Amino acid sequence: MTEDSSTHEIVTAAIVIIGDEILSGRTKDKNIGFIADYLTALGIDLKEVRIVPDEEPEIVAAINAVRARYTYVFTSGGIGPTHDDITADSVAKAFGVGIDHDPRAVKILEDHYAPRGIELNEARLRMARIPFGADLIENAVSKAPGFRIGNVHVMAGVPSVLQSMMDAVAPTLKTGTKMLSETIPAGLPEGIIAAPLGAIQKAYPATIIGSYPYHDGTRYGTNLVVRARSAEMLTEAANAVRDMVAGLTPAT
């Protein structure tokens, strides 16, 4: 909200994680943090994440809600060969397009399985179901591809595969002016810092200043993070925060 948007290009994104196993707690998600770091490094602002179950109406609704709002959407999960892998069909439905075995994807699977003497059975062929009009996303790990349709990138849930797919996708993404950040650790409780920090935020509206409290087992502290797209703005605001923390620290 306080971005200096007149001079910097803003590129936004959302993530949709698809999978009952995340919602049940059985699997602890590792993809949100990975994609978040990746996008931040590229200068793309992750604005929203949704985790939805393996149910077509939920997947369709989530994808349609976010693809209309953000520059890019990244999904994770549900593109394997089993009956609960319904992401590709759901994405086709969200876009109102057909879906069938894609000759390019079939060839990738044939080239992968044939030399190993593994049958390309009906279940494995399911992984070649790609919505009409989509481009494939290379999977350097286990070959079965992801795909991109419109601004939506559909990737696997297995972290190593998702990570290889992000590497394949990254060069195709438009990137914005990178959000720079500086962290100022403060061994002080938020209650002491809050008022002067709020004043600094007001004085530097082109920055976003956050306070992230922690408890180290014996006492509270907080990490103050200043973010800005302009290096000059960042330095000015971070210096103000640093001076404020230094001024308060001896007295405590």
Report the alpha-carbon distance of residue 112 to residue 106 in Å, rounded.
10
Partners of residue 210 on adjacent β-strands: 225
Shortest distance, CB of residue 252 to a copy of itself, whole angstroms?
Answer: 11
**Selected range binding a copy of itself among 49-57, 147-155, 234-242, 243-251, rule: CB under 8 A:** 49-57
CA gap 78, 161 in Å, rounded? 13
Cβ atoms of 145 and 112 closer than 8 Å: no
Question: Nearest approach, Cβ of 246 to a copy of itself (angstroms)?
Answer: 18
**Residue position matching structure tokens 């409780």:** 189
Q: Per CB under 8 A, does 22 bind a copy of itself?
A: yes
What span, in angstroms and rounded, lies between the C-alpha atoms of 88 and 1? Answer: 34
Tokens 């369709």 appear where?
Answer: 60
Contacts with a copy of itself by CB under 8 A: the residue count is 72
Restricting to residues 216-235, name those near a copy of itself by CB under 8 A.
220, 222, 225, 227
Tokens 């990738």 correspond to: 108
- Report the distance separating Cα 88 and Cα 71, nearest Å: 20
Minimum distance from residue 93 beta carbon to a copy of itself (Å): 16
26 or 171: CB nearest a copy of itself? 26
User: Is position 81 an interface residue for a copy of itself (rule: CB under 8 A)?
Assistant: yes
Residue 40 tokens, joined: 């931040």
Q: Is there binding between residue 124 and a copy of itself (CB under 8 A)?
A: yes
Residue 20 or 136 with smaller CB distance to a copy of itself: 20
Q: How far is the CB of 40 from a copy of itself (least distance, A)?
A: 5
| 129 forms part of the interface with a copy of itself (CB under 8 A) | no
Residue of 3, 31, 43, 50 that binds a copy of itself (CB under 8 A): 50
Query: How, if at all, do strands 135-137 and 146-149 pair?
Result: antiparallel
Tell me whether residue 161 or residue 206 sits nearer to a copy of itself (CB atom).
Answer: 161
Q: Interface with a copy of itself includes 172 (CB under 8 A)?
A: no
The first and second tokens of residue 5, run together, are: 């948007």
Choosing from 103, 187, 191, 247, the residue that interacts with a copy of itself (CB under 8 A) is 191
Give 220's strand partners: 215
